[in-house]
Structure 1
Amino acid sequence: MIGGSTSLFNNRFLKMRVHKIFKIFILRLTFTSKRTLVFYGFVLGFVTMVIMQPHLVANRNTGSREGKELQEDTIERLLSEEKRSDGGDDRLAQAVLNRTRILCWVMIRESGNVKARALRATWGKRCDKLLFFGVDDEFSAIDLRTQEGKRYLAAKTFTSLKYIHKYHINDAEWFLKADDDTYIVMENLKYFLSDENPESPVYFGEFFNPFDTKYLRYNSGGAGYVLSKEALRRYGELSLLRSVCADPMGPEDKEIGYCLRHLGVEIGDTTDRMGHSRFHYDRADLHAVGDAKQWYRDFMGDRYRQGTDTMSVYPISFHYLHHYDIHMLEFLFYRLRPHGVFKPFQEVNV
C-alpha cells in the first residue's frame, strides 16, 4: 500500500514538473525575438531529422524492395497469362504476326465451297484482312462481274488487283493471293517477310522458269504469291498504260508474272539460308517423296530436288488440297506435338 502511494505521488510530481516547464517555455517564447525563434526552430528541425532519418531510410528501402518484387511478380504473371492454354508458348509468333500486316484474297468458283469453309476456319483467320472474290453470299464474296471458269481466271485476278488497289492498299504492307485449295502457314510467311521491304517492287512465291520466249519466269499461282505494297501500287497506277497488263485469257500465274515483270516488279528468292523451299505448288507428301509431275521437273530444272530434307523447317504453302487436308494440316501444325520434345527457334532467313 505504501509502495502504491509512493508511485502515485511520483507520477503527480512528474506531471506538475512537466506542466511547470512547459509554462516557463511558453512565457519565454512570448518575450523572445523573432530571430531567436527562427534559431530555435532550425535547431528543433535538425534534431528531429537526425532522430527520424534511420527510420525513413529503412522504410524507403523496404518500399523500394517491395515495389521491385511486385513488378517482377506482375511481369511473371503477365507472361504466364500470355502463354497458350495448351501449355505452348507462341509469344514470338504473335510478335511477328502483329508486326507485319497481310491482306489475303482468295478466288472461289462455286457456291457452298467446302474448301473455302475450311480455309476460313483455319489459316484464313490469321490474315489481317481476308477477301473472297466470286459469287457467294456465305463468304460475303465480292462479285467482280467477270466470267467464271479456268480460262477467265487471269482476267479475274487482274480485276481483283484493281479492286484491292482502289479500296484496300492502305490496309496492309503485303498482299497474298491464294487458291481455295491452298494452305498457308501465316506465321512462317510473316517471319519470312519480316526481313523484306514492302516499299520495294517485288513479289514472292515458288519460282518457275519454263524457258518460254514470252513468259520466261513467274511465281506459281497454286503455291500462292505475295505482292509488296509497291508492286500493287505499280499495278494499280501503271497497268492501264501498258498493253501487257490488259485482261488476258492465258494462264493466270504466267500472265501475272509477265505483267509485273514489265512494270519493273522483281521476283524475290524465297528459299531459306540452307536453300530449302518454302512455297510448294503441290501437297507436302508429294514434295517429300519426290512424286512430281514431269512438267514441274522441267520448270525447276537443276533446282528440282526431292525429300523432306529439301523443304524448309518453316514451310509457307502447300497446294492441291481437299478440305479435309486443310483441316489435317491445321491439326499437324498447331495441335500435334511429341511429348517431351522441344525444338528452339531457328534463324533461317537469308
Structure 2
Amino acid sequence: MAPSRRISAGRSSSSSNRIGRSSPLSLRSTIIIVMITALFLGCAFLWKSYLNIAESLGGSVGGRSVVGDGGGGSSLVGWLPVLSNEQGENKEDEVTPLIRGVKIQQKQHHETAVATQQKIESVNEKATIQTTPPPPTTTTATNQNRLYCMVPFIWTPSALPAYEAIQSTWGKRCHVLRFFIDPIIGDDKVGFYNMTEASEAVRAREANLMLPNDVVILHDMKRPWHTCGEEENRNQNKPIGNCRNIWEKIWRAWVYVVTGKGGSQVGGGYSSIADVQTAEWFVKVDADTYLFPENLRRYVEYKKWSYEDHHYFGHVLNHRRSDRKVSIVAGAAVFFSRATLFAAAGAFEKMSMEKGDQEEDGTCRDAYTGTEEVVTAVCLKQFANVTADPALDANGREQISLYNVEDILTYNRTDMGEWWFWEGKTRYPCHDDGDCIAHLPLAFHGYKQPSFFLAFEKEFYGSVMKGEDDPSHYTQHAGIVAARKWDRFDVTYEYFERVRSAMRAADAAESGQPLVSSDVEKQSLEKEATNMAPQEVSIATSNNNRVYCMVPFIWTPAYLPSYHALRRTWGKRCDVLKFFIDPIIGDASTGYIDLRVNSTNANLPGDVVVIHDMRRPWNACVTESEENCRNIWEKLWRSWIWVDSNGDSDTAEWFVKVDADTYLFPEHLKRYVKRNKLAPTDHHYFGHVLRHHPVPLVAGTAVVFSRATLKAAVKIYRTFDDTSETSNRCHDEHTDQEEVITSICLKQHLGVDAHVTLDDQGQELISLGEIEDTLLWNRTEQGEWWYWENKPKLHPDTEKEMHQCCGVYPIAFHGYKDAQWLYKLEDELYGMDDIPDDENRWKNYEWRNAEVTHKYFDRVRAAMKVDS
C-alpha cells in the first residue's frame, strides 16, 4: 500500500492562463473578464490554502526550535495531530490532553503567524540583524561532534522506570535525547489509547499517562507495536504483546528527524528546522542499552571522521551475508554520520510501501519485521552504497558489548567456535584472552532492569569511583567497593577499573591536568595512551583551558552595534561565544515581539539563545522605567541552566559571564589559570573581588567559573521555587544584583569563596571602569569608598600598594557602552587597521589621559609580544 502524500501549506503551484488581445473587446468587457477571472483564481487559491493548512495541522510537526533548545530555552509546546477547534468551544476540546501540566497548543491562525513574522522581519531590517548563522567559533570537538540519541520506546506503565533511568543517567550526556513512541500507548491494565484522537488522549491523561517534552509520537505508523492489525471478520484491533514491527518504527523515526514529517514532538513546538540540524552524529539506542555519549566524540576524533562523509558503524555482524548480501550493525547502538542519515532518510522515502504487512525479503521496502538492522543495511547499500563499519579500538576490542558485560568478558573464540557472533570477523588476540571490550566503550547492551543503569552511573561517574561510603554499595571480602554484586565479580570489577582509568586518562589529556594517584594507575594510563592515535592526543590537548564566553544581551536595534562589535573583536578569541537574550525582542520604534507566545522562526543568528521561560524579561516593562526591569539575576541563572542542559557545559573548561560593555582578553584568562595551576575539575570562582557586602563577591564585569563550579551551581539553580522578595539568600529574586546572590549561593551551598584576579605584583587584571580612568585611581587620594573597602593595602612580599590598575596581562576592561570603543581597543592592542565596521567612527576617537593610557598600552603590547 503506497503512503499518502502530504500537501505542504503554501502558494498554489498552478498558473492561470493569461488574458490576451486575440479579439477586439470593449473596455467594459475586458474589465468584467479580468474581474471574474481574478475572483475565480482567488477562491481557488483560498480553498487550496485551507486544505493545505488543515492537512499540515493534522500531519507533521517540525523539529527542534532554531534557537536555544533544552533547559529553559526554546521548548515551545507542540500539539498532537487531529486536535481541533482552537477556541475550545467543543466540550471535548476543552479538556484536550495536558502534557506535564501544559496544555497542548491547538491550531493557530496562519494569518497571525504571517503578521508576526512580518513584524519580526521589520525589527530585523531596522536593526540590520544578520539572518545567516555566523561562522563557528568553537573547535571541531565541541561544535561538530554533537550526538543525537534516538530511543525507540513504548509508553506503558511498566516501561516508565526505564525512561526515567535513561534520562537520569547516560541520556543527560547526549546533546539531544528523544524517545520515539507508537501512537497507541498503554497496556492491558490501564487500557490502550490512540493518541491521534482527542478523546483518547484525554482518557490517557486521566490514566496518568503523561508525555514529557522529549517524546515524539509517530502518528503516521500503520502497524504500531500495540496492535496487530484487523483480524479476519472483525472490525476492531486486538491489542496483544507480540507485534514486533520495529522496522516501520525505525524508518519513520529517522524520516521525522531529517524532515520533521510523520510525528509530533510533544512540547517541542513547530519549526522549519528539523532535528537533523541539531547534531552531527546520530545513534539509535535500544532502551536496554547503557550508552557513553562522550566516548563517541573521542572515537570519531580518533578515527579522523567527518560527519559530512558517510559513516554507518557499531557492532558489526556478518552472519546475514549469505542470504542478504550485507553486513549489519547490531541494533544495540547504531551510529550514523549526518551525511549517512540524510542518505538513509532519502532511501526510506523512496522505498516501496507495498507488501508492508509481510516479512522483509532482502530488498529495501517497508516490511512487517523485527530485524530492522537487516533492512537498514540493505537500504544504505542499495541507495547510497554505504556499508557497515565495525567500531573497534586499536587492539580490535569491540566498542559495543552486545550482551551483558559480565558474560562477554568470558567469551573465547577458540573454545566457542565460529558461531554467528564471530562469523566473518577479523581475528584479534583479544578474542581468546577475555579482554575484548574497549576500555573507552560506546555502549553496554542487554540490561532490562533500570537498576543496572544506576549502578553503571555510580561505577563510572559517581561515588564508587571516588571511594565514598554508600549503603547501597556492595563490599567484597577484600574490601573492594562496587555499585552492586556483579556476576563474575573479579573479572568484571577488573574491567571496570580499566574503563575508569581510561576515562580518567582521556579527561586528563583533554584538560591538560595530571590525574595519576598511584604507580598502578600510572601504568594503566600509559598503556591506554599507547592505544590512542597521535591525532586523538593532540586534539584533546589543544582543548586545554577552553573558554566559554556568555554574554547577557537584549535584542533591540540600539544594542545590535554592540553585538557585531563583540563578535568582530574579542569574541572571535573565545572558544565558544553565545549571547543570551530575553524572550521579548524589539523596542518602541519596531514594536515588541514576545517569542514566548508564538513559535515563529525569528531568524536570529546561530550564536543567540532565547531564554523562553523567563518570568520577568527585561523588555516586558515597556511602560515602566528601565530600572524597574533590570531583573538580571533571573536571566543569569536560567542562562546557566540552559548551558548545562544543552551540553554546552562540556564544551569548555572555563566559563565567563561578560557584560556587553566589556572588552575581554580570553587568551589572558587562559594564561592566568595555567600560571596559577587552576584545574577546571576543582571549584573556582574568580574575578575582580569587592568586599563591601557581608559575602565578598565578583563584580559582574567578568565573572569566571570552573566547569566543576558551574555544574554544581546549576544543580542549585534547578531547585529554585517561585520568586521571593526576601534578600540576602540563595533563591530566585527580582533584582539586578546578580553578583550578590551568586556569591551567596556558592558560599552557602558549596563553600566556594570569591577569589581575586591579581598579577604577581598584586595589581588588578580586571578594570571595573574605563581603562583610561581606572589607571589614575589612587587609594590614598580617593579614600575608602566601596571600591577599596576591605581590600588588603600592601603586598605581603613587596610591601607595595595592591589592587592598583592594572597588570600587563589584563583580562577585561569595562564600561564601553559605545561599541566604537571596542574597535578602538582592538586596533590599539592587536594592530588591526582594517577592522570591519560600517561606521569607522572609532578612528577619530581619542583616549582621555592620553599619556598615561598610551604608556600602559605600550607595556601591554610588549608583554603580549613576549608571551606569543
Q: Please report the TM-score for the alignment, with normalisation by the length of structure 1.
A: 0.62
Q: Distance in 1 between matches of 2:788 and 2:732?
A: 28
1:205 aligned to which of 665, 687, 692: 687
Q: Name the structure 1 match of 2:738.
A: 252
Partner residue in 1 for 2:634: 155
Alignment-derived partner of residue 23 in structure 1? none
By how many angstroms is 1:237 displaced? 2.1
By how many angstroms is 1:259 displaced?
1.5
Structure 2 letter corresponding to 1:201: H
Equivalent residue number for residue 788 of structure 2 = 300
2:711 to 233, 238, 241: 233
Tell me what 2:570 maps to: 123
Does 2:812 correspond to 1:317?
Answer: yes
Confirm or deny: 8 A CA contact 1:123 1:183 kept in the other structure: yes
Post-superposition Cα deviations, 1:283-330, rounded to whole Å, max 9, x if no partner, equal 1011112289x8993242264989997410111101110201111111
- Aligned to 2:549, what secondary structure does the other structure show? strand
Q: Computing the radius of gyration over CA atoms, which structure comes out larger, 1 or 2?
A: 1
Match of 1:224 among 698, 702, 710: 702
| Letter of the 1:248 counterpart | E
Q: What is the distance in 2 between the residues matched to 1:101 and 1:111?
A: 30
Return the alpha-carbon distance in structure 1 between the equivalents of residues 811 and 660 of structure 2: 15
How many residues align structurally?
245
Contact in 2 for aligned 1:287/1:308 (Cα 8 Å): no
Match of 2:768 in 1: 281
Q: 1:312 to 1:196 in 2, by over 3 A?
A: same
* Partner amino acid, structure 1, of 2:756: D
Deviation at 1:240, TM superposition (A): 3.5
- The equivalent residue for 2:552 is 107
> How far 1:345 sits from its partner (Å)?
3.6
For residues 862 and 768 of structure 2, what CA distance do their matches in structure 1 show? 29
1:317-336, aligned counterparts within 5 Å?
317-321=812-816, 322-335=818-831
Distance in structure 1 (CA, Å) of the matches to 2:570 and 2:679: 23
Question: Shift in Å at residue 100 of structure 1?
Answer: 1.6
- Counterpart residue identity of residue 748, structure 2: H
Distance 1:190 1:329 in 2: 20
Partners of 1:138 and 1:323 lie apart in 2 by 20
Within-5 A mapping of 1:65-104: 99-104=544-549
- State how far apart, in whole Å, the 2-side matches of 1:130 and 1:279 are: 19
Matching residue within 134, 138, 150 for 2:581: 134
In the alignment, structure 1 residue 269 sits paired with structure 2 residue 756:
yes
* 3-state SS of 1:301 partner: coil
Q: Hey, what does 2:144 align to over in structure 1?
A: none
Distance 1:211 1:313 in 2: 29
Cα gap change, 1:202/1:263 in structure 2, threshold over 3 Å: closer, same or farther?
farther
Check whether the contact 2:641–2:717 (CA below 8 A) recurs between aligned residues.
no
Distance 1:202-1:280 versus aligned 2 partners, 3 A rule:
same
Q: 1:138, CA displacement in angstroms?
A: 4.5
Partner secondary structure for residue 142 of structure 1: strand
| Cα 1:302/1:246, change in 2 over 3 Å | closer
Q: In proportion to residue count, which structure has more helix? A: 1
CA deviation after TM superposition for structure 1 residue 281, in Å:
1.4
The correspondence for 1:178, drawn from 658, 664, 681, is 658
Equivalent position of 1:84 in the other structure: none
Please show how residues 13-28 of structure 1 align to structure 2 within 5 Å: none
Relative to structure 1, the CA distance from residue 287 to residue 269 in structure 2 (aligned partners, 3 Å threshold; closer, same or farther) is same
Question: Among residues 144, 148, 156, which one is paired with 2:611 in the alignment?
Answer: 144
Q: Equivalent residue of 1:163, what SS?
A: helix
| Separation of aligned partners in 2, 1:335 and 1:99 | 27
Q: Distance in 2 between matches of 1:281 and 1:313?
A: 16
Task: For CA contacts below 8 A with separation 6 or more, give which structure has more relative contact order.
Answer: 1
Q: Which 10-residue stretch deviates more, 230-239 or 314-323? A: 230-239
Q: Is the 8 A contact 1:289 1:308 kept in 2?
A: no
Q: What is the distance in 1 between the residues matched to 2:681 and 2:773? A: 35
Q: 1:245, CA displacement in angstroms?
A: 3.6
User: For the residues of structure 2 that align with 1:180 and 1:263, how far apart are their CA atoms?
Assistant: 29
**Superposition deviation, residue 185 in structure 1:** 1.0
Q: Alpha-carbon deviation of 1:253?
A: 1.5
SS in 2 for 1:204: strand
Provide the rounded CA distance (Å) in 2 between the counterparts of 1:258 and 1:160.
18
Q: Deviations over 1:75-117 (max 9, x none)?
A: xxxxxxxxxxxxxxxxxxxxx9853201111111232321121
**Partners of 1:308 and 1:235 in 2: CA distance:** 28
Structure 1 SS opposite 2:555: coil
- Is the CA contact (8 Å cut-off) linking 1:287 and 1:307 kept in structure 2? no
Percent identity reads 24
Give the C-alpha shift of residue 169 in structure 1.
1.2
Report the AA paired with residue 142 of structure 1: V
Decide whether aligned partners of structure 1 residues 330 and 266 sit closer, same or farther in structure 2, where only a CA change above 3 A counts: same
Q: Which amino acid aligns with 1:204?
A: F
Query: What letter is aligned with 1:273?
Result: D
Whether the aligned pair in 1 keeps the contact of 2:761 and 2:802 (CA below 8 Å) is no
**1:290·1:307 contact (CA, 8 Å) conserved in 2?**
no
Q: TM-score, normalised by structure 2?
A: 0.26
| Residues 255 and 261 of structure 1, relative CA distance in 2, 3 Å threshold | same
CA distance in 2, matches of 1:220, 1:124: 20
